[in-house]
Amino acid sequence: MNEEMTPGAEPVIYKENVYYGTVMWLLIGGLIVLYLVVLVGAIAKRKTGMAVGMAVVTVFLLALLANFWKLTFIVTENEVVFGFGLVKKRFRRSDIESCEPYTLEFRNYLGYGIRLGLDRTIAYNTRNGPGVKLTIDGAKKPYVVSVNDPGAICRLLSSGGE
């Protein structure tokens, strides 16, 4: 059986992974290299306190990178799940009041990752560009998620999966 399953053992109807752009990877990689260089320098100069501090920061950055390296968006018959690594949102499809294509812009979120927008949305954002805006029954704010084909996702969610 080749059918992909969610943790709740439901067959996946739609799955998409969205990654950060090259520039973001270069910035993150450069920051990690910088901390590693300072760490090695602190070890070489026998500055134990600084070395421990740099090691802690480097491990923290690597853990963040491991968790946030891709955004996953999954639709099953009964659920919509999206998020980064261990930080995921899970909603029943029946609780989705609306889905509409949305354009994510840096000026609205002032960054990438999980962000509160100036327009009072919560974004799971990897880049500027296409996404979906989901209004969920019982949620205080709409969610905006970076995806590659917002039209297809909104059609799928509005059709009830049929």
Two structure tokens written together for 139: 């949620």
- Domain regions of the chain by residue span: 19-67, 75-159
Containing H/E element for 116?
Answer: strand 113-116
2-34 tens-digit pLDDT: 355 555 678 999 999 998 877 777 888 888 888
pLDDT of residue 1: 36
First-to-last alpha carbon distance for the chain, in angstroms, is 22
Two structure tokens written together for 107: 């000026």
Closest Cα partner for 79 from 149, 14, 141, 34? 14
Residues of the chain with pLDDT under 50: 1-2, 162
